[in-house]
Structure 1
Amino acid sequence: MMLNKALEYTTAYLLLGGNLGNREDNLSRAISLIAVQIGEIEAVSSIYETAAWGKEDQPSFLNQAVSVKTHFTALEVLRKALDIEQSLGRVRKEKWGERLIDIDLILFGDEVIDMENLLHVPHPHMQVRKFVMAPLAEIAPNVIHPILGQTVLNIYENISDVLEIKKL
């Protein structure tokens, strides 16, 4: 007789963004594909609009955070997210450039992962980017950053980023 081992799940936090095409529809389509290909959606933030960050001469971005319960590893989640981006028409031209959709893995449970030039979790710049922290604080205020040892809400409330952000 064979016993089924219970699948172990991890909560992954993803940040979605885009500034080309029908931005809201692109976010919605990405969330639908995440639910099918990565795991059960636990929470979805409001949509936030911000000016472009890093490369400012482009249209404003819409961003949204998603919490997903997954049995995949962090690297598998990243690969699936990249596949979803590509299926929605993402073409990588330049760092911080315009895009139809971007899906970043921000947190993966309480794991700290440093795979050079491939995957860094927690996202190494999350704590200095308001467009990441605002939607994340909405859906995961009490989650602890595994390196900084602070809650997401505390990090957001003390962020030095002055980029204007508007909740839609």
Structure 2
Amino acid sequence: MTRILLGLGANMGDRLANLRAAVAGLGRLVEIEAVSPVYQTAPMYDVDQDPYLNMALTARTDLAPRPLLDAAKALERRVGRTASHRYGPRQIDIDIVLYGDRVVHEPGLEVPHPRLAERAFVLAPAADIAAGWRHPATGRTIAEHLAELGPVEGVARLAESVAPV
């Protein structure tokens, strides 16, 4: 089984319920190891939208990267995601951030996530559960990438949890 790091985010509808539904659905696809706290984050790139709730989880899977992506996209649709523009608001977003130590460059699938090192909304929750995980292309850990961003505004840990019961 391969260890994976997934990033989840939502900024439409009942954001916390959407994250909970996604984690429950992922629990039927992969063996969840750890679930981060939930963070409220300011939108990035397209800033004229509501704040996001973001989180990360680590898991183990027998699914190869492409079938994992396909299953994640199907789960997004079940949770209520509809087509939106790039960086636009969404009910749920599930990204494959890291897939073991593999580097994958395929149409529609890039692992590690190509913008991981610039995204505090992914790095902060990921650092809570996988701080020492090394990026296979840069060799730096999640914690090191987060530290390289310097002081980060608009990223706040919340008391809410979506950990499976």
TM-score bracket for the superposition, by shorter chain length: over 0.9
Higher RCO, 1 vs 2 (CA within 8 Å, ≥6 residues apart)? 2
Asked if the contact 1:11–1:69 (Cα under 8 Å) also holds between the matched residues in 2, the reply is: yes
Q: How does 1:29-108 map to 2 (within 5 A)?
A: 29-36=21-28, 38-108=29-99
CA distance in 1, matches of 2:72, 2:110: 14
TM-score, normalised by the number of residues in structure 1: 0.91
Q: Show the counterpart of 1:148.
A: 138
Q: Is 1:130–1:163's contact at 8 Å kept on the other side of the alignment?
A: no
Are the aligned partners of 1:144 and 1:151 in contact in 2 as well (CA < 8 Å)?
Answer: yes
Is 1:113 aligned with 2:104? Answer: yes
1:160 and 1:121 mapped to 2: Cα distance? Answer: 24
Classify the secondary structure of the residue corresponding to 1:144.
coil
- 1:122 partnered with 2:109: no
- 1:20 maps to 12
Structure 1 residue runs of 5 or longer lacking an equivalent are 1-8
Asked if the contact 1:108/1:122 (under 8 Å) is kept, the reply is yes
In structure 2, how many angstroms separate the alpha carbons of the residues matched to 1:163 and 1:88? 29
CA contact (8 A) 1:128 1:161 kept: no
Q: Report how far residue 161 of structure 1 moved.
A: 7.7
What is the distance in 2 between the residues matched to 1:105 and 1:52?
Answer: 19
| Shift in Å, 1:107 | 0.2
Distance in 1, matches of 2:152 and 2:133, equals 23
How many matched pairs? 158
Superimposed CA distance per residue, residues 11-60 of structure 1 (whole angstroms, 9 cap, x where no aligned partner):
11110000011111110110000010x21110000000111111111100
**Following TM superposition, where does structure 1 have runs of at least 4 consecutive aligned residues deviating by more than 3 angstroms?**
160-163
Return the alpha-carbon distance in structure 2 between the equivalents of residues 112 and 160 of structure 1.
26
Whole-Å separation in 1 of the counterparts to 2:139 and 2:90: 33
RMSD after superposition: 1.1
Pairwise CA distance, 1:69: 0.7
Distance 1:74 1:13 in 2: 12
